[in-house]
Structure 1
Amino acid sequence: MNVKDKYYQEVLRFWKDLTPNQRELVDHSIIKKHFNKGEAMRSSSDQCSGLFLIESGQVRAYIISENGKEITLYRLFDRDVCIFSASCIMKNISFDIFIETEKETTAYLIPTSIFDKLSKESMAVQVFANELMASRFSDVMWIMEQTLFMTLDKRLAIFLLEQSNIEESDTIKITHEKIANHLGSAREVITRMLKYFQEEGIISLSRGTIHIVNRKRLEQLTLY
């Protein structure tokens, strides 16, 4: 068994249900791709690359409003699967979603035509795709709930704690502009809120860096 086979078996839950011919088809058609930080994996609804399996790295899926504001829908990490990059095979779903790398990323790509063929032939693949779509839409609904019903200070506190967990550090290297893009806000608004957090002794700010000084106070902001 080679490394790729092992990877497929662990990430693609439907692998064990594929026939030998279907497994061979995937093995011969799958493509390993490398992306630099900030590179687009999918830039518009007109592009439909296929199903991405994230081997390593960090990926962000987001939408852009008519006035150019961005808001992050969800993020993907090692061993996650990006279903929206194959959205063109999903019937009656039409949307503009952008997918870019936040870190240097390595991913395997199952081309759209191959994944579409497997979906039509295998119920297990259909179930996998439907479950993945349901999970991603759950992520999107959580973001919509935050945007519609939570105050910005609470949303910002949630984001800083999540980012701290991702980086496994209380020191977060990120610009105010990037936070604004994640939260669908303006940079000036984020800057004012961060300065308020700093005045309250919750964080300290330096150029391109946020350090969480009082994690307990930050966590308390997420509860109200």
Structure 2
Amino acid sequence: MELCHYLPFFQALPPAEQSALSHAAVRRRVPQGTLLHNGSADCLGLLVIELGQLRAYMTSDEGREITLYRLFDRDICLFSASCMLSSIQFDIIICAEKETAFWMIPADFYKRLMERSVAVSNYTNQLMASRFTEVMWLVEQILWKSFDQRLARFLVEESALEQTSLLITTHEKIAAHLGTAREVVTRMLKYFQSEGMVRLTRGAIELLDLKRLEILAQI
């Protein structure tokens, strides 16, 4: 499928702008684990995801990570072009959680396009508002939800995402997603296991009672 099918504003552009955008966009494919954007250290450009999965996260001064949001097929990653957004004052890191194919639109080109087109500017503002809404939801979860609720929700959502009750992951990876220490995750998972909700094995977590986890997560 061509780039034009992934950009809601494409048909609103004049033919010359459509052609310029199609030529400026670079198609790439990266393996799992690829670091695509490292905060203010670089400005890769706007990423339009064709197929795959990206993770946007932040790190503390102590090196602790927390996942802000994830991006999937047909999503658009704006913060990989954060250098063109003067209002962005914090560093976001973006990596590929799975093999990912995407188009990269250079930041300087997209900025000029945004300045010339009301449709592009409006879409960009809507996209930015949507991402900040996700981040604010995360802040609310951290402030007002207990850790057992947050962990249960993570497990349920991972199960839905991977379409399996057997999650191949580690306690350390879960801790990175939830912004806590591995020991905290391990302690809570062992409690879940004692309650019959999960079974823990090396490098994997099997969800035994999805309904109870959903109730705990208040989904």
Say whether the fold is shared (TM-score over 0.5). yes
- CA-to-aligned-CA distance 1:99-135 (integer Å, 9 cap, x gap): 0011011110011111011100000000110010011
Moved over 6 A (4+): none
2:126 aligns with one of 126, 131, 143: 131
Q: Secondary structure of the equivalent of 1:53? A: strand
2:71 — aligned with what? 76
Alpha-carbon distance, 1:43 to partner: 1.2
**In the TM superposition, what is the alpha-carbon distance from 1:10 to its structure 2 partner?**
2.5
Aligned partner of residue 94 in structure 1, secondary structure: coil
| Equivalent residue letter for 1:40 | L
SS at match of 1:93: coil
Corresponding position: 1:46 with 2:41: yes
Aligned pairs for 1:95-114 within 5 A: 95-114=90-109
State the partner residue of 1:19.
14
Q: Which residue of 1 aligns with 2:154?
A: 159
Task: Report the secondary structure of 2:87's partner residue.
Answer: coil
* Stretch moving more, 28-37 or 155-164: 28-37
Aligned residues: 219
CA deviation map 1:37-63 (0-9, x unaligned) = 111110121211111011111100000
Inter-partner Cα distance in structure 2 for 1:207 and 1:81 = 35
Residue 92 of structure 1 and its aligned partner are, at CA, apart by 2.7
The two structures have a TM-score, normalised by structure 2, of 0.97
Q: Tell me, which stretches of 5 or more residues in structure 1 are unaligned?
A: none
* Residue type at the aligned position of 2:214: E
Q: Which runs of 5+ in 2 are unaligned?
A: none
Matched, 1:150 2:179: no
Alignment partners' CA distance in 1, 2:87 and 2:77: 19
RMSD: 1.1
Partner SS state of residue 45, structure 1: helix
The 3-state SS of whatever aligns with 2:129 is helix
SS of residue matched to 1:85: helix
* Selected match of 1:208 from 193, 196, 203: 203
Does the alignment pair 1:36 with 2:31? yes
Which letter maps to 2:4?
Q
In percent, how many aligned pairs have the same letter?
Answer: 48
Contact 1:45 1:94 in 2 (8 A): no
Amino acid at match of 2:174: I
Tell me the distance in 2 between the aligned counterparts of 1:101 and 1:192: 28
Q: CA contact under 8 A between 1:57 and 1:103: conserved in structure 2?
A: yes
